[in-house]
Chain A
Amino acid sequence: MSRSKMGTVDRRKFLRGAATAGAAALVGSKVQAQSQTSPRPQEDVLTVGRSGSDFMVDVIKTLGFDYATSNPGSSFRGLHESIINHGGNVSPEWLTCCHEESSVAMAHGYAKIDGTPLLVVMHGTVGLQHAAMAVYNAFCDRVPVFLVLGNTLDATQRRPGAEWVHSVQDAAAMVRDYVKWDDMPVSLGHFAESAVRAYKIAMTPPMAPVMLVADSELQERPISDDAALRIPKLTLPSPPTGDSGAVGEVARLLVAAENPVIVADRYARTPAGMSRLIELAETLQASVIDQGDRMNFPSHHSLNQGGGAIGRADVVLALELSSIWGTLNRMRDQLYRSSRSRISSDTKVISITAADLYTKSNYQDFNRFHEVDVAIAADAEATLPSLIEAVKRQLTDDRRRVFDERGAKLRDAKQAALQRRREEAAYGWNASPISTARLAAEIWEVIKREDWSLVNNSIGWTRDLWNFDKPYHHIGDSAGAGQGYGPPAAVGAALANRKHGRLSVNIGSDGDLMYVGPGAFWTAAHHKIPLLTVVHNNRGYHAEFMHIQRMAARHERGIDRFQVGSALTDPNIDYAKMAQSMGLHGEGPIENPNDLGPALRRALAVVKNGEPALVDVVTQPR
């Protein structure tokens, strides 16, 4: 065969071979495509005995949560079902909330009574967006909350629609500036270690919210090797205490002072906090100013002096103050702001605070910088025993005599101050709208013989007229000044009080209630959380009235238009009807002060029967 013929034959063979190979390749890709659309073997498996979320619940149970607060969502359906069924809905018990702001604020209030965090579960996107303000409040207040977010990180596993808009690359990014620690575990072992670590970090002073992301695939897939999983032991660190040298120096300054003043703010972390502060104050016979972010010092104790005591101080001991600058200075809010110091230039300032150990930058809750003479970066409550000992070691008989004289004067001043407040309370006594002094006195009359706990408060007269002397009598406020905190925080605190049989009292403003209050009250009714709510109904956002008045007066115009945009009238909101619609006993609006006592008694009877009740009272502005 000639070369040309051979080449032709070879070319034909090549082309035939190429065609055959191409056809075979085409058939192969079709086969491959068909195998991708036909079910994989595991897709025939429709049930699972134990999935990742069951293990997550095993981990959660070791951390001792009493409750999990949540508004339900698909991104954490695995965890939700595992808590209910695998966990038996006990420790934690799932509480149904109508808004994520509620679920976080409930945990905030609960922690301030119980001293332990609640588990809060939510969507990692829309849920966290709702909850963000409440997380910020808890952060500003340095209160532990344990947040778990649902998310679907694997894009190939998201169903079209909601699962895409409910998914995010970095769920915690939105709130990282006001969360103490966060993680996104990629395995169940990782989840276990991070959960224990997160709890430890949340509960180490300064405490704050922490966050874990529970990926939905991790929740719902079967556990591949159960035997290999382990849950680390939780060991909480003891809180940091002050250096002994510095503590000794502080004791020296306090013992030598002629007018020492102790200012306590976010100080009392446990029930022991108040008794330690009483011991220190009584040893020194020093004035105490309780700024009220916690229940620091008995309100009617002879050493509990008003803010005016600061002006006479030669030594100021600041215990966990949120703002030393704000305590020691007064700022005038006029067109050009000015400030002046309330203390003399010779006054020594001492600070003991765990806040010095942990400060973030973006959100300015750390307040304005103020110089101090001694700064101890430690937990104030934990440091106090060593400070008390140091003070006692340095006492002499001469100083004791000076202290006794000082104490006698402070006692007289306190009695006179309480007397003046009672006299002032009589002004406007029979007015309508009802004065807040009258409101405070009427509520006190009804609750004073109960084991009561004021879990939220919007009126100042309670501090003057009620006798606060137990650690749970008062829990402070939102700290972040984010409106909407009151009702859910009150429900959460009432939940913590429930096992002790305490009467929880919520005096809350109407404006604050309108955010998520109705849903929070429904949660209280649904879960049988007894709570006496008195609505301080001044029919508007009164702080904003005053701000607009200031702006109008400054501009010399429209001073009669301050209510535009801030009044809650026309129509007047019927909070009693709203409460009834949520399953509460509801009464009001009460406008005649003589009707208050009977209405409160009827509501109290309901609460003592284990149910929430609400009385709407039309009041003076403040």
Chain B
Amino acid sequence: MKIFRLPLGLTITAAVLCFAAAVVVGASGVKESSVLAMVSSPSSQEVAVAESNIENGKKLYLKFGCWTCHGYAAQGGPGRRLAPNPIALPVFTRIVRRPPYAMPPYTEKVVTDQELADIHAYLEALPHPPDYETILLLKETEN
């Protein structure tokens, strides 16, 4: 499933720019696409966010072995819990590229920004766990 999801600020900016571009295009006959390219050049990460793919993210999460440290359900293990509510994509990307502690570094050469965005989208889509208080086995460990 494709999700086209932009941060709100960027959405408004893009809408304004598109309107302005349409006025200019309409006046001068210049092609719309080249005007948009001139007035708005989203970063590779913004493009990645715009076109992130949960299914692909899941495949990559398994293929690249994120689960060996973070668990199949991203619940954690030797590595931190990643889901639900993963950290923001820019921070996520920064940490994956240059991890502060034990995690090995994954550069763009082995996993692209788009692939990281897909993985991030997959993590965002993972469901919340039940409240531990509703799980009898966990509740009883209090005794």
Contact = CB atoms under 8 A, between A and B. Distances in A.
Contacts of B39: none
B138 interface: yes
Interface stretch (B19-27, B28-36, B47-55, B101-109): B101-109
Interface stretch (A58-66, A235-243, A402-410, A428-436): A428-436
B138 A622 contact: no
A557 B64 CA distance: 11
B75 interface: yes
B37 interface: no
A429 B68 contact: no
A601 interface: no
B105 A422 contact: no
A559 B110 CA distance: 7
A444 interface: yes
A559 B111 contact: yes
B106 A559 contact: yes
B104 A442 contact: no
Contacts of A444: 137, 141
Nearest to A423: B132
Interface in B84-131: 101-102, 104-107, 109-111, 129-131
A553 B66 CA distance: 12
Interface stretch (A31-39, A349-357, A541-549): A541-549
Contact of A332 (B74, B76, B102, B111): B102
A450 interface: no
Interface residues of A, number: 40
B138 A545 contact: no
B1 interface: no
Nearest to B83: A427
Nearest to B63: A560
A432 to B, nearest CB: 8
Interface string A421-454: 0111111110101011100011011000000000
Interface in A273-287: none
Given A426-B129, A553-B104, A554-B105, A560 B137 contact: no
Contacts of A424: 75-76, 81
A333 B81 CA distance: 20
A620 interface: yes
Contact of A435 (B71, B104, B111): B71
Interface in A530-547: 542, 545-546
Given A422-B132, A556-B110, A560-B63, A546 B138 contact: no
B65 A445 contact: no
B115 to A, nearest CB: 11
A422 B71 contact: no
B131 A621 contact: no
Contacts of B106: 553, 559
Contacts of B72: 428, 431, 433, 620-621
A426 B142 CA distance: 14
B137 A427 contact: no
A29 B77 CA distance: 82
Given A435-B71, A435-B75, A442-B137, 11 more contacts: A422-B138, A426-B130, A426-B131, A427-B73, A427-B129, A428-B74, A428-B129, A465-B141, A466-B141, A553-B105, A553-B107
CB-CB nearest 9 A-B residue pairs: A428-B75, A428-B73, A553-B104, A427-B75, A622-B77, A426-B132, A431-B73, A550-B104, A426-B129
14 contacts: A422-B132, A428-B73, A428-B75, A435-B73, A437-B75, A444-B137, A466-B141, A549-B104, A553-B105, A554-B105, A559-B65, A559-B110, A620-B73, A622-B77
